[in-house]
Amino acid sequence: MAKHTGINNCHKTYIRGKNRRGNWLAVILLRVSRRDFGLCLSTLLLFCLGSVLWQLNGGPPQLLLHVRYYFGKSTFLDDHGPLASRALPFPSQVVYNRVGKCGSRTIVLLLRILAERNQFTLISSDIHNKTRLSKHEQMNLMVNISSVPQPFLYTRHVHFLNFTRFHIDEPVYINIIRDPISRFLSNYFFRRFGDWRGEENHVVRTPGMKDDERYLDINTCILEGHPECSNPRLFYIIPYFCGQHPQCREPGLWALQKAKENVMEHYLLVGVLEELEDVLLLLERLVPHFFSDVLNIYRSPDYRKLGNMTGTVHKQTPSLEALQVLSQRMDYEYEFYRFVKAQFHITKRKFGLRTKPQPQRQSASLHHREEQEEPGETVLENWEV
Ligand SMILES: *[C@@H]1O[C@H](CO)[C@@H](O)[C@H](O)[C@H]1NC(C)=O
Ligand SMILES: *[C@@H]1O[C@H](CO)[C@@H](O)[C@H](O)[C@H]1NC(C)=O
Ligand SMILES: *[C@@H]1O[C@H](CO)[C@@H](O)[C@H](O)[C@H]1NC(C)=O
Ligand SMILES: *[C@@H]1O[C@H](CO)[C@@H](O)[C@H](O)[C@H]1NC(C)=O
């Protein structure tokens, strides 16, 4: 519209110049009209520039919006519709395929508070024991997920889902992992003795467990190579990132590579639990419409009281020999963990966050409570040998 006005003005000036009488007058006026013509051209150029700038800014310049304000609302909105109410924050579809015993209950508690505060849909599936699905189940689940009102955050213990395989809009993934032996120990004792939430918690989780399994010494389990303490069951974190392909659950290089690739290509952030506060800080910066204010909530006394309930009762630390056997069996898991941690530290550096050197604790204290859900207060063990 603006461009047209400019051209019309030029035309008028040109005609005006032609209609003048008298030679000398004509010469002067011709000069004037040339100058006018130049003026018109530069005006046109200015409009072109303005239009380019408009497109670069993704909307009308502030000046036009002010103009629109004074001339009523009919000029811009009629053509383009309401801008502000239609635009969704980006990304508006987030999937957190939470890894078991990696602080996920802490995060879900935080998410419940955040969903209300920041106005997004939170779907937290309570299916804990089904991480791999048939092709049909995969498709159903992905169709379900993508029909949740946006912006949404969907979370479940489930191995990576390939949305593009079923031609569904891909969400953005986030996740948190931790030192593989710490995770293993946490799970080992959680299955047997539950957490602080209630005495009977473990009975609910593992009702069929016989006493000789429940009270199985962890060193025996590791050194005698019971299934629970051997591969493929020690190959646990990688499949969450590799995906639903059967080979993703076979301990090996293929699954490791695929998991690394997916971290690079499909995950906005994979944090490590040992640096939980920095994970939360980065989430707050990267996806503020979901995580805005999360660090304040996490540090608040009210939340501390809630979060206090989720630490696993940690009965026993394995012997050094058992730990060494375990870390050998978890070779791939450790390589993946180191890879994720390095990537996480790169992201942290980009945001100007430093990483303090982690103390490598291998204390053999018996009967201590594992403070897995409250790493802000206690240093988490790092078992890497
Ligand atoms: C998962 O747990 C539910 C009960 O919580 C049980 O009914 C179901 O059989 C379990 N599924 C698997 C595959 O273990
Ligand atoms: C998908 O949603 C429907 C209705 O909400 C539900 O009945 C179904 O079980 C869901 N399927 C999956 C795989 O979650
Ligand atoms: C998803 O599935 C498609 C088609 O089967 C495949 O080409 C692609 O590599 C898969 N992506 C991931 C991340 O596995
Ligand atoms: C956390 O729980 C422990 C054990 O139940 C209790 O002794 C402690 O007082 C609790 N701390 C807070 C801050 O609630």
Residue of 184, 195, 158 whose CA lies nearest to 173: 158
From the CA of 104, how far away is ligand 1's center (Å)?
A: 20
128 CA from centroid of ligand 1 (Å): 8
Nearest ligand, CA 170:
3
pLDDT for the residue numbered 262: 98
What does pLDDT average to over the chain? 79
Domain span(s) for CATH 3.40.50.300 in the chain: 93-350
Q: Are 178 and 102 in contact (CB under 8 A)?
A: yes
Rounded to an integer, the average pLDDT of 315-342 is 94
Tell me the per-residue pLDDT of 279-302, one tens digit each, with 9 for 90 and over: 999 999 999 999 999 999 999 988
Query: Which residues partner with 96 through β-bridges?
Result: 155, 174
- Which residue has a Cα nearest atom 14 of ligand 4? 305
Find the ligand nearest to 198 CA.
4
pLDDT digits (tens, 9 = 90+) for 114-144: 999 999 999 999 898 899 999 999 999 999 9
pLDDT band per the 50, 70, 90 thresholds, residue 111:
very high
- Which residues have a Cβ under 8 Å from the Cβ of 181 and sit 6 or more positions away? 323, 326, 327, 330, 383, 384
Question: Under CATH, what is the fold of the domain 93-350?
Answer: Rossmann fold (3.40.50)
Residue 144, phi then psi, degrees to nearest 5:
-60, -50
Query: Residues with beta carbon inside 6 Å of ligand 1?
Result: 129-130
- pLDDT per position as a tens digit, 227-273: 999 999 999 999 999 999 999 999 999 999 999 999 999 999 999 99
Is any ligand 3 atom within 6 A of the Cβ of residue 285? no
In DSSP terms, 269 is beta-bridged to 174
Cα–Cα dist 285/192, whole Å:
38
Per annotation, catalytic residue among 157, 245, 289, 368: 157
Check whether 15 has a pLDDT greater than 50: no
Looking at the predicted structure, is the pLDDT value of residue 31 above 70?
A: no
Task: Tell me the pLDDT band of 25, cut-offs 50, 70 and 90.
Answer: low
- Asked if pLDDT for residue 175 goes beyond 70, the answer is yes
Mutate to test the pocket of ligand 3, among 95, 162, 266 (most ligand atoms within 8 A of CB): 162
Omega cis (within 30) before 149:
no
Confidence of residue 8 (pLDDT cuts 50, 70, 90): very low
> How many angstroms separate the CA atoms of 13 and 44, rounded?
14
Band (pLDDT 50/70/90 cuts) for residue 6 is: very low
* Averaged pLDDT, 7-27: 48
- Closest residue by CA, ligand 3 atom 4: 165
Q: Which residue has the higher pLDDT, 40 or 99?
A: 99
pLDDT of the residue at 192: 84
Tokens 């009919």 correspond to what residue? 74
* Identity at 86, one-letter amino acid code: R
Known catalytic residue at 11: no
Nearest-CA residue for ligand 4 atom 6 is: 308
Q: In the predicted model, what is the mean pLDDT of residues 14-23?
A: 47
Q: Residue of the nearest CA to atom 5 in ligand 2?
A: 144
pLDDT value, residue 128: 87
CA distance 244 to 46: 56
pLDDT surpassing 70 at residue 69:
no
